[in-house]
Amino acid sequence: MEERSQQFNQRLAKVKRLRELGVEPYPNDFKPAHTALEVAGRYADSDAAELEECADELSLAGRIVALRRFGKASFAHIQDRTGRIQVYFRKDILGPETYDIFKLSDIGDFIGVTGRPFRTRTGELTVEAATFRFLAKGLNPLPEKWHGLKDVELRYRKRYLDLIVNPQVREVFRKRSRIIRFIREFFDARDFMEVETPMMHKVPGGAAARPFVTHHNALDRDLYLRIAPELYLKRLVVGGFERVYEINKNFRNEGVSTRHNPEFTMLEFYQAYADFEDLMALTEELVSGLALEVNGTTRVSVDGVEIDLAPPWERITVKEAVLRHSDADERIFDDKAAALAYASKIGLDLPEAFSHGKVLLEIFEAVAEPNLIEPTFVTHYPLDVSPLSRRSDGDPRLVDRFELLVKGNEIANAFSELNDPVDQRNRFLAQLEERAAGDTEAHLMDEDFIEALEYGMPPTAGEGIGIDRLVMLLTESPSIRDVILFPHMR
C-alpha cells in the first residue's frame, strides 16, 4: 500500500508538471480515426519494404499497457476496444519538447497518436508516432502481476482492472453480448415481440423464491422487486400478443454461489397455440444455433467434461430419471410415506409437512440431477411443485413441464401454461396453505392475474432461460461471477 501511495503521488506530481508546461492531462477533443484491429487487418499482408513506401497517416487512441524506453526512443503498446498495437516514439521525429512531455507518461495512461505504419526488424507492425497527446493521465498504477493473483474475488470486485489486463475476460463479455443479440434476432425472426414488464410488483409471483422488499413513499406501500416476469407476460397473451419475449433482470433474495447471484438476467418467452413439446424443439434449435454462432461448434467443455449440444437431446421423465439413477422402488411415486422413508435412507432430512411432490423433487435433485451430463429434457414434474403449469392429460398428478439440464445444471424451465382460471385459483389456495405451514417461497394469491385468466387465455407454452447460466455454458466459465460484469459479493 505504501508503494502504491508513493506511485500515486509521483503520478500526481506529473499531472502538476504537465499543467505547468501548458499541457492539459484530460482533454476531450482527440478523435481517433482508426482502431488497432483495423490497422492490423489493413497492413497484414504488407512487408517492410511496402510499408517503407506507405504514406498513410493513421490516428489511434488507447491505454498504454506496455512501455520500453531507450533514451531518445521508446516503444509502447496501446490497447483500445479492438486489441493492441505497438507505437514507436522518436525524439528527432516528435521534437525535444513533445518527447519530454511523452517521458511523463506511464503504463495505464490514455494517449492519442498519429503517424505512419512500418515494420520493426522483428517484423512487428508498428505506428511511428508523428504527433502525441495525453488523453487521460492514470494516477493508480496497474497491477503488474494480475494473472498471478490468488484472490479471485478481487478480480470480481475490481472488474475494471480485470478487463484491462485479461483479454480472455473481455472475450467472455463480448460473447455474452453476441449471445443476447443472437437471441433477439432468433425470436424476432419468428414473429415474437420484445416487451418490457414491471420490475416492481404489488404481489411477487411467477417463481418459488423470496423477494426483495422495497417501499414506495408516495403510495405508502411495500412493493417487491420481481422474482419473475411470468404473470405479466401471460397477461399480455390474454391481451392478444400471442408471441412475446423479454430479456431483463430478476431479483431473488437468496444465497450467493457459483450458480446463484441475487440479481440475474432471464429470457422469458410465451407462444400461444404451442405446448411444452414445441418448446423443446425450439430450445434445441436456439441453444445449438447459439453454440455454432459464438463458438463455431456445438461441443463445449464443462468442468473438464466434453458435451455436445447438437440435437436431438434426451427426454426423460422425473420418475424415469430417479429409477435409472437410484435403487428407489416405484412405490415412492404413489405413497408419500414411502417417499419420505427413502429420502431419509439417502440422507435427506425433510419435514413431514412437505408435500408428496416436493419430497419427490428433493429425491430427484439428490440422486438423478447430478448424473444428467449431456443435454437432457426432464419432463412431467409433480403438480404440487408446479402451480402455474397445465395438468397432464395422461396423469393428473403431473404437469406438462420440462427443465433442461446440462451436467446437472438447470438451464431452462418450461411448461404448457395453466389457463383454467378455476384450477389456477385452487392452486394458489394450496400454495397459501403451504406458506401458512412455513414455506416462505410458496406463491401468494394474485387476484388480478386470476381475473385476467377469467377473460380467457389461449392454449400457451412458456419458458424461462437463465442468460447467465447459458453464457457460463457457452464460454466454459466455472462460476456465474465470471459472466456477470459486477457480481454481488459477500
351-378 pLDDT tens trace: 998 999 999 999 999 999 999 999 999 9
Looking at the fold, whether 110 and 241 belong to one and the same domain comes out as no
| pTM for the full predicted model | 0.93
Cell 420481481 maps to which residue? 226
Closest CA to 318 of 282, 362, 355: 362
Distances from the Cα of 77 to the Cα of 167, 170, 229, 257, angstroms = 14, 18, 47, 38
Read off the pLDDT of residues 425-472 as tens digits, 9 standing for 90 and up. 999 999 998 888 888 888 899 999 999 999 999 999 999 999 999 999
Q: Residues 233-257: what's their mean pLDDT?
A: 95
Looking at the fold, whether 407 and 447 belong to one and the same domain comes out as yes
Asked whether residue 278 is domain-assigned, the answer is: yes
Asked whether residue 110 is domain-assigned, the answer is: yes
Asked whether residue 365 is domain-assigned, the answer is: no
DSSP class of residue 482?
A: G
Q: Residues 369-395: what's their mean pLDDT?
A: 97
DSSP class of residue 49?
A: H
Give me the CATH number covering residue 236.
3.30.930.10
48, three cell numbers = 517492410
* pLDDT at 1 > cutoff 70: no
Q: Residues 200-224: what's their mean pLDDT?
A: 93
Read off the pLDDT of residues 20-68 as tens digits, 9 standing for 90 and up. 999 999 999 999 999 999 999 999 999 999 999 999 999 999 999 999 9
Q: Residues 134-153: what's their mean pLDDT?
A: 77
175, three cell numbers = 460473447
H or E stretch covering 61: strand 58-69
The answer to whether 417 touches 389, Cβ cutoff 8 Å, is yes
Asked whether residue 345 is domain-assigned, the answer is: no
Asked whether residue 108 is domain-assigned, the answer is: yes
Looking at the fold, whether 181 and 65 belong to one and the same domain comes out as no
Omega before 312 within 30 of 0, i.e. cis: yes
Average pLDDT over the chain reads 95
DSSP class of residue 138?
A: -
What Rg do the C-alpha atoms of the chain give, in angstroms? Answer: 29
Please give the pLDDT value at position 226. 95
Asked whether residue 427 is domain-assigned, the answer is: yes
Q: Which of 108, 142, 176 is the last residue of a domain?
A: 142
Q: Which of 142, 172, 192 is the last residue of a domain?
A: 142
Per-residue pLDDT band for 146 (boundaries 50, 70, 90) equals: very low
DSSP class of residue 481?
A: G
Q: Residues 395-419: what's their mean pLDDT?
A: 97
Per-residue pLDDT band for 256 (boundaries 50, 70, 90) equals: confident
Read off the pLDDT of residues 259-286 as tens digits, 9 standing for 90 and up. 899 999 999 999 999 999 999 999 999 9
Per-residue pLDDT band for 2 (boundaries 50, 70, 90) equals: low
Looking at the fold, whether 266 and 301 belong to one and the same domain comes out as yes
Q: Residues 197-214: what's their mean pLDDT?
A: 92
Looking at the fold, whether 131 and 190 belong to one and the same domain comes out as no
Contacts of 333 by beta carbon, 8 Å cutoff, 6+ apart: 319, 339, 360
Looking at the fold, whether 58 and 188 belong to one and the same domain comes out as no
Cβ neighbours around 181 below 10 Å, total: 12
SS3 state of residue 463: strand
Asked whether residue 359 is domain-assigned, the answer is: no
Asked whether residue 241 is domain-assigned, the answer is: yes
Please give the pLDDT value at position 150. 47
Q: Which of 112, 142, 172 is the last residue of a domain?
A: 142
Give me the CATH number covering residue 69.
2.40.50.140
Please give the pLDDT value at position 257. 87
Q: How far apart are CA 402 and CA 315, in angstroms?
A: 9
Please give the pLDDT value at position 395. 96
Enclosing domain of residue 279: 164-313+374-482
Looking at the fold, whether 181 and 70 belong to one and the same domain comes out as no
Looking at the fold, whether 129 and 192 belong to one and the same domain comes out as no
Looking at the chain, the whole-number percentage of residues with pLDDT higher than 70 is: 98
Looking at the fold, whether 172 and 62 belong to one and the same domain comes out as no
Looking at the chain, the whole-number percentage of residues with pLDDT higher than 90 is: 90
Looking at the fold, whether 290 and 259 belong to one and the same domain comes out as yes
Please give the pLDDT value at position 437. 84
Per-residue pLDDT band for 3 (boundaries 50, 70, 90) equals: low
Question: Total structural domains in the chain?
Answer: 2
Closest CA to 229 of 192, 181, 265, 272: 265
The answer to whether 405 touches 378, Cβ cutoff 8 Å, is yes
Please give the pLDDT value at position 332. 98
Looking at the fold, whether 26 and 95 belong to one and the same domain comes out as yes
Contacts of 209 by beta carbon, 8 Å cutoff, 6+ apart: 227, 228, 252, 253, 254, 441
Please give the pLDDT value at position 148. 43
Looking at the fold, whether 35 and 134 belong to one and the same domain comes out as yes
Please give the pLDDT value at position 145. 56
